[in-house]
Structure 1
Amino acid sequence: MKPLADYLREADKEGRPRSGIILGIRMVLRAMQELQIGDPAEVHRQLIAFVETDRCLPDAVELVTGCRLGNRTLKFRDLGKMAATFLDLRTNHAIRLAARETANQRALEVFKGLEKEEALSRAYREWPDEELFSWQPVAVELPTEERPGYRAPRVVCAECGEGISFHREVARAGRPLCRSCAGERYYEPQ
């Protein structure tokens, strides 16, 4: 595993890393330590990360582990929390980590002469993991169709004619429908 400074240099290539990226990298490094994974690249496609926010943390997870939506190793669960769960498919061990909200307030008190972003960044770089996160082992059931490399026949929606992958169709009146046509769309046609 590379040290924090190496990951921060990599993150710096896209602009100075924000405090959320720093905290995210620290979170991932702690998770890898807890799961006894020395180099995430060695467990390619055998490590699944579930992120509970769409801000900063997914970028940090991808940077350190290589987990990505496109290879089905990064899963997004919109819970609005700076938290993530990491599942090692080789051992079926999983760990969930969550940022301690108290660390933010404490950082602003300890580094009160600094701007908020700089105070948080400094705390996230320097403080021990125990002050930044809580973590616990968890059990995660990952269905076969959610795993990397899963293949299934594509189904065509009987309503719109679009293809549906990975058993995401819904059966209505004996016909396969995509979730959009079944009423679960996030958009409204104009």
Structure 2
Amino acid sequence: MKTLPEYEELATVAHGHLCAGQILGLRMAVHGLALLGIDDPTGTQRKRLVTFVEIDRCATDAITVVTGCRLGKRALKFLDFGKMAATFCDLETGRAVRVAAKESSKQRAAELYPEILEKNKQQMKAYRELSEAELFDVQWVKVRVGPEDLPGFKGPRVSCCECGEGISFQREVVVDGRTLCRSCAGQRYYEPLSDHGPEERR
């Protein structure tokens, strides 16, 4: 594991700037991995870890810097719960720990450094110094990570009976005996503008 200043430099490059949320994310990840006994997450232990993040904010980019978990590697899982929390899963031991930022941490930052008027700078300074117990709630949990969700999974690819698009990682659903993608099964996040292709809308 690297030092916090070293991780801060990496996070600045990865995210484009450094802020309080990233420092919180860095410390969250370092603490979670320490609890699991993982000290080389981007090296010899890189295949042991899957991380679930619950918010799409600055802290998530910081967590990826420490853990090495990425969406493209299928080692980072995003669940949009809107919470400053992450669960770190050790695939080798089956242990998992959820680390959540305490709501009281912002108030503790204000109490420690009332002379720093800019909240981000105030929190950055405090989050570097507060203990893990002051920053985080920790809960040991059980997480089922099925084979279809593991990095390197090589499952069959099927086509949607409705739109014809390919579906990987067993994400298809069967409705009335027909294999459908989630969009065609009614879970679409977008609304098509027409039934025609883009070349017909020009």
Q: Name the TM-score, length of structure 1 as normaliser.
A: 0.96
Give the secondary-structure state (helix, strand or coil) at the position aligned to 1:43. coil
Instruction: Tell me, yes or no, if structure 1 residue 40 matches structure 2 residue 41.
Output: yes
Query: What's the counterpart of residue 157 of structure 2?
Result: 154
Give the secondary-structure state (helix, strand or coil) at the position aligned to 1:40. coil
2-side partners of 1:156 and 1:121: how far apart? 48
Shift of 1:110: 2.4
Answer whether contact 2:40 2:46 (CA < 8 A) is retained: no
2:136 to 113, 118, 133: 133
Shift of 1:189: 0.3
Aligned length: 190
Shift of 1:3: 0.9
Give 1:113's aligned amino acid: E
Give the secondary-structure state (helix, strand or coil) at the position aligned to 2:155. coil
What root-mean-square deviation, in Å, do the aligned CA atoms of Structure 1 and Structure 2 show?
Answer: 1.1
1:49 to 51, 54, 63: 51
Query: What's the counterpart of residue 8 of structure 1?
Result: 8
Extract unaligned runs of 5+ from structure 2. Answer: 194-202
Give 2:31's aligned amino acid: R
1-side partners of 2:50 and 2:186: how far apart? 30
Query: What's the counterpart of residue 86 of structure 2?
Result: 84
Instruction: Tell me, yes or no, if structure 1 residue 168 matches structure 2 residue 171.
Output: yes
Extract unaligned runs of 5+ from structure 1. Answer: none
2:123 to 120, 124, 127: 120
Report Cα offsets for 1:56-78 as digits up to 9, x if no partner: 12211211111001111000111
Give 2:146's aligned amino acid: P
Shift of 1:17: 0.8
Query: What's the counterpart of residue 65 of structure 2?
Result: 63
Give 2:161's aligned amino acid: A
2-side partners of 1:16 and 1:186: how far apart? 30
Give 1:8's aligned amino acid: E
Give 2:59's aligned amino acid: L
Shift of 1:127: 1.1
Query: What's the counterpart of residue 94 of structure 1?
Result: 96
Query: What's the counterpart of residue 29 of structure 1?
Result: 30
2-side partners of 1:178 and 1:70: how far apart? 20
1-side partners of 2:149 and 2:86: how far apart? 17
Report Cα offsets for 1:5-59 as digits up to 9, x if no partner: 1101222335441100000000001011101111112211220000010101221
Give the secondary-structure state (helix, strand or coil) at the position aligned to 2:21. helix
Larger radius of gyration: 2
2-side partners of 1:32 and 1:72: how far apart? 18
Report Cα offsets for 1:132-160 as digits up to 9, x if no partner: 00112111111111111111111111111
Answer whether contact 2:173 2:185 (CA < 8 A) is retained: yes
Give the secondary-structure state (helix, strand or coil) at the position aligned to 2:60. helix
